[in-house]
Amino acid sequence: MVVALTGDVMLGRLVNEALLRHGPAYPWGDVLPDLHRADARIVNLECVIARHGTPWQRWPKVFHFRANPLAVDALKLAKIDCVAIANNHVLDYEEEAFLEMLELLEAAGIAYVGAGRNLEEARRPVILSLQGLRLGVVAFTDNEPGWKATAATPGTNYLPVSLESVPVLQEGIARARAMGAELVIVSAHWGPNMRLRPTPAFREFARAVIEAGADVFHGHSAHVFQGIEVYRGRPILYDCGEFVDDYAVDPVLRNDWGLLLELEVEEKKVRRVELTPLLIDDCQVNRAAGRDFEAITQRIGELSAQMGTTLQREGARLWVECA
- Who contacts 93 (Cβ-Cβ below 8 Å, separation ≥6)? 48, 50, 52, 53, 54, 55, 56, 64, 66
Q: Which residues pair with 49 in a beta bridge?
A: 67
Return the CATH fold of 2-321: Purple Acid Phosphatase; chain A, domain 2 (3.60.21)
Contact 189, 159 (CB under 8 A): no
Using one digit for the tens of pLDDT, what is the confidence trace for 267-297? 999 999 999 999 999 999 999 999 999 999 9
Of residues 261, 310, 260, the one with CA closest to residue 288? 260
Cα angle at 158 between 8 and 190, to 5 degrees? 40
Which pLDDT score is estimated for 323?
A: 79
- Select the more confidently predicted residue: 323 or 84: 84
- For 44-71, how does the pLDDT look when each residue is reduced to its tens digit (9 = 90+)? 999 999 999 999 999 999 999 999 999 9
- The DSSP bridge partners found for residue 270 are 265
Tell me the per-residue pLDDT of 240-269, one tens digit each, with 9 for 90 and over: 999 999 999 999 999 999 999 999 999 999
CA 4 to chain centre: 10
When the pLDDT of each residue in the chain is averaged and rounded to a whole number, the result is: 98
CB of 21 closer than 8 Å to CB of 254:
no
What are the residue ranges spanned by the domains of the chain?
2-321
